[in-house]
Structure 1
Amino acid sequence: MSQPSKPAVATAITLPRWSRAVSIVAIAVAWVCVLLYDLLTLNFTDPLDAGHGFFRTLFPLVGFVPFAARLFQPEDIATDAEAYETYTNITLITAIAGVFGLVAYLLIFTWEDFRLLSNIWAFIVGRLVALVAYVAVPLVAEGLLRLYRYRSKLAPSRIALGYSYGLAVLVIIPLFVAFFGSLQNVREVAYMLSGLLGVMGFLLSVRGGWIVNLRKRQKLKLLLWAMVGGLACLPLMPETTELAASLYGFFPGLLSLTFGIIISMLVTQITVFFNAMLALPTAEAIDRRNIEVSSLANFARLLTQSFDSNELTDTAIAITCSVTRSQAAWIELGEGATRELLYGTSPKLPAAVAQALMDARATRQHSISEAVRNNERVEMIGQTGEGRWALKNGTTRALRSVAAAPLRSGNKLIGTLFVAKEQVFGFDREHLTILEVVAHQIALSIEQSRLIQQSFERERFEQEMLIARTLQQQLLPKTMPNSLFHEIHAESEPASIVGGDYYDTIAFSDHTIGIVVGDVSGKGASAALYMGMVKGIVQAFSGECATPKEFLIKVNHALHGTIDHRWFVTMTCAQIIDEERTLRIARAGHCPTLVLQQGKAWFAKSPGIGLGIAKPALFQRTLQEEVVKFMVGDYAIFFSDGLPEARNPQGDELEYERLRAIVERAAAAQPSAQEMRDAIFEGINKFTDGESLVDDTTLVVVRWR
């Protein structure tokens, strides 16, 4: 049975989306039309009394239409860096407008000969002041709206509509007041309405979650930008009759609109300033985490670009020193007489000093090197007197604390990674955790380099098969997490031509578990190597995200621009909510998820495009989640394209409908997750009549119990 169609979510307003350039041109044309209209009607001497005719009121409204459409359909911000750029741009626009307003007031409106409305030249100057506000206000409004929507707990569509309607009210109501009242009446109404918009802006901007993850240097710049932006808002508050009349005389709605945006901008600058101040104490920790993630991503990328063992060693040692803030690092490979020490680009330690540090006592019975090999876990000595040596200039250098992590390839210990610092007790828990992660990456790279060097002597096809199979087995988890509510069975069978299939488990920020199934485009060792990089990025973001959508957005941001443009990754991420027996699924171009409920199967096909293909903003707009509720005995089946693409001797593919039929037949026996897996592969084997599969087949079965 196919999945019942879901009603589309209706939007309140659907408008064409014009580019920013077209919107600015429309504003400029409207401004010129108003200027020509006033000049042709010789209305420049007293526009307040006679200038509110139908046409001169209509022109500015028409000019606002393209920007109004943009406000109702704004581009979402995808990353914290983009939010920072948006904020600095609107602050810069505000600062430029503020300087212009201050100069206009001090140097123009204070001259008796150029008092506003006194002659045609003062009239034109007033129109120039209005032009600055007319152009700057919608640009700043759009930027503020994008910031308010980013990381908001409210629905982005509601924020867009609410704020856009608020701006519309600021334009329309003063028009009615202007026809029946004076400038003073319009100013009073403008203050009241803009104050309400300012309160809305404060509530939407006070959270400021995008500031937390910025670098310390960026946070310090934010403080400066916030002060500049706040000061720039002051000259734009039309407290004087001249400035207010400039805006009122051009278009009555512009006066209140300017008030509203300036007040919103001012409260935003205040909240940004205090959020940046509050985030400064954690800035160094955030910087360190960003360096760690960036270093791991760069190292993972190097794995796919270089197979030179010396280059890999240099990079591994440099990254290890960077992320642990150590003064020295080295690798011990092998055992006994075959032992080899690799220093890379770390400061050259005398061999005797390195050996003394490795022999330092971690326990009464064992040195730190022996403790790591025996326990296969990270070990640390907070204070040791073994790492002291004399330099050529006569001074003495000492490394007073040392830590070590095992290098494992599969179940085999291939060496040990050592780091040392000059500080006593220089390693905290976070350092040791990241040391273990780096050690895993280094072990993978070392084993990978060895395999590649060996495979150079064989034929190309045999090389890719051996490397890809070895790496894939290291990437896949050995066991899957089960609970009282569900059981999971996963398996990946390599075909004669291997590819980049991958599955894994992750954690979400609320401690629920998730399933990740992915596939790299293409086949062979290159696909497997890219999947190794994907695993590193997936594990780096494990535990940091609240939903599958947020997780895939972060993975796409890390991959975009990192992998070759000819490659991309498809992936499905599902969050298991045990107590509710619910799956939250997000699909980035991967095969649909087969859902079996009460014996009937259908495919969950939430929209989304592959990872690494599109820019973060486009990827975020197209990605959607789907929530599926299950009962006891229901199944969720995740698979790669190797299953529906399996062919029989006649060349026909299995396709989704035959796969669905196989699952529905198997469900009649109420099988376990593993039995369901066996039944699916048995059905595929019967269809192909024993023919070899042309691609890897990965299958993850979740059964609710």
Structure 2
Amino acid sequence: MADHRMESLRLTTPSLILLGAAIGGVHATIRGLLEGFERWMPEWMYQVVALVDALGASAAVVVYAWLIVRTSQERQAPDMQRIRTWLRWCTVGTIGVLLLMQVPAGPGFWHGTVLTIEGGAILAFLGWMMHGMLNVFFSYRTARTPILLRVVGFALAAVLVLAWGERIVGIESLEAAKVFSIVLLIVLTLLLARRRRWLRLLSRTERWGLAGWAAALAISGTVAAANLFDGQSQQARAVAQWMAESSAVAGSLLLMVAAFAVVVLVTVVSGESSAERKEFEFDAITFLNRVAAQHDQSEQLYETVVTLALGLSEATSAWLLLRSESSTWTIAAIAGTDRERAEALHIPEVLGDALADDAIVIPWLREDERFFRIARSAESYAQSLLVVPLRDSEVSYGAIVLASGRPFAFERGDAELLEAFAPAVSVALANQRLMQQAIERERLQRELMMGREIQQKLLPVNIPTLNGWEVVGWSEPAYEVGGDYYDFFWLAGGTACVLVADVSGKGISAAFYMAKLKGVCIALAPLCSDVREFVLRIHRAFDGVLEPRVYISLIAVGIAPDGTLHVVRAGHPPPLVARKGGRIEIQSSPGLAIGLVRTERFAAITEELSLDSSSSMVVLYTDGVIEAGLNSRGELGISGFAEHVARAAMLPSARAAAVYLQSVLRQYVGDVLLHDDMTMVVLRCSTPSKATNGTGI
């Protein structure tokens, strides 16, 4: 990937100062010795030493300039305090250049040494000024900055060559070319300083303070440059000690600094005050909060966020990325471009976890290796990006994405501005999400309560006496809806069937299968002559239909016309049978739950159990009954429940027994959430009466 940025060289400012001081000390010593001992040295020796010294000094100046350019990229973008300090010391230093101590012309050791030291100080000061200005250019660069800096280098070289040619050849027309090169340098400085929005957000005091120092530097820099262009001035002769005719280059550099100071002056005077900007930010946040409070529609809030984000920046397009609770990203609102282009950038996939951190400024997509593959295709609408995460301490709600069709459109100040705006957006999105969740919970609660009412209507309200047996049922789901079920049916031949079933699991899924089981039973009951056939047909209807890990346990009690009982158990808890003598028995028979094996295997395992005439009461129940109290005082268990059934058998009717057992279960469970659905059916032998016929439910 092509990278237009120069590689920064890791040299510190103290290193540069020490290096410059060492070179300057050597050069000053040599110049002083040449000036002081010229009369005692042979001519050839003087010329050789002078030539070597001149070449060394010139090379030192070139290397020092190269180091200045390289190290100017190391530092972070300057803030207002650094710029103010830089302007102040540039002004003081420039005035100091104008007030250099005059050294009388003439031979001598001190004459050469002092001039060399003064020239070195001027060049070092110019290097420091250029270091600060180049730091600004690199920090707030554009796509053309590398090219413009190369042109600056060529123009400075041209000024130096033209100055040499003018002195050697004496052609006056070269003066015009030199002036043209100097003007070109000024124009290039103005182009390099095009990005200056970072200078505009200042308070009134800061603006006028910065403007004062910028004006002082512009004036003093221009006067000092004119002084250097005068080849006979003290400053020009001092600089010439390091490189012949280098005063023209030094003057050109000072004019560039003066031009930059003029740019700063014009920008801060004509720029927007920080108070006005803060007022706009406050109005934007206030408007956002008002929209969030007044509008239930999420789209209105999302569009407002995108519109305000565009207003707070110079982006050409913006969109709002929302992150769901399942960590999926969607574009909620967009402006300035279309969804297809925005999605083509693949920002959530490319930036990944960085979207939950601080704001991300991508100056130029072509220079960012993360976007290298898609930068070319997105050049028409997105060459620079600013991504501002929306989050609180724990939750990431999404991100605001700003895009511009030109590179280097966003600065750190834009990120800070949007980061100040982001908390208000995050709060609005959090409130919106909470409101949606509350509405969804309320809707779900209404639906569940409606489902509970419907499910309760699927259960029989009053069961008539069935072939001499009084039957009373009761069911309470752990949640709003459940998977427990009880009912009665009439089989062919006058046999009544009481059925209790428990679908694995709880909630809506179990309730769905419970409703389906009722429909199957209604359809199959008239086709079956006995209870075992009825259960086998139910298994065949569900064979291969149930979802994996879903099964149905059930128990069916057939009451023949003569009052005898026949029990078929399919993986269900065994019934509790009260004998006429008060003894409680647990009657168990082989059988697997529906959905665990194929029908052929189920038929081979399932057996029918007949109860004799000594049975006075039979209690059918689901596992939620014997697990009652599991969340509080401990599981009731089948033996504990049997004790209470023994007491209930002493009551005069099935209804009285059922009411007693209900009160026991409620007391045992307490106020805690039920561990499982609870269903219970009590069958009690009554005085023989005429059998009820029909298919009523």
* TM-score, normalised via structure 1 length: 0.41
Give TM-score scaled by structure 2 length: 0.41
Over alpha carbons, which structure has the higher Rg? 2
